[in-house]
Amino acid sequence: MASSGGIGALNAARVADMEAMSVDQLRSLKEQTDLEINLQDSHKKIRTDSTRLDIASTALHDLFLRHQRIYLPPLLFLSMSVSSSSLILLMHVPG
């Protein structure tokens, strides 16, 4: 790990390099840095969304495993397996 003096010297060297650059080179450097920052932000958002998707997927899988057998009154059992994300509508008409 670099000491604070080492980091300061490194930053001073970067500033010296930037002072020697032309305006076009500085603009190009700024554009490249902005792109890198945007990519880092996008990557962070994708990781967060991926984690949320994994959690939701696991929860749905667990929910389907727990509800494969649904009790419907009066004493009617329905065994089912859901293999797609289609909507299932169950209606009980008292009779």
Phi, psi of 71 (to 5 degrees): -90, 125
Which range in 5-9, 58-62, 89-93 is most confidently predicted, on average pLDDT? 58-62
pLDDT at 2: 46
Question: 59, 53 in Cβ contact below 8 A?
Answer: no
What is the C-alpha to C-alpha distance for residues 29 and 23, in angstroms, rounded to an integer? 10
Q: Where do we find the tokens 């010297």?
A: 9
Is the pLDDT confidence value at 1 over 50? no
CB atoms within 10 A of CB 15: 10
Q: Is the pTM of this model over 0.85?
A: no
More confident residue, 13 or 61: 61
pLDDT at 60: 84
Asked, as a colleague might, if the bond just before 73 is cis with ω within 30 of 0, I would say no
Alpha-carbon distances, residue 28 vs 12, 18, 36 (angstroms) = 20, 12, 12
pLDDT, tens only, 23-80 = 998 899 899 989 999 999 999 999 999 999 999 888 888 877 776 665 555 555 555 5
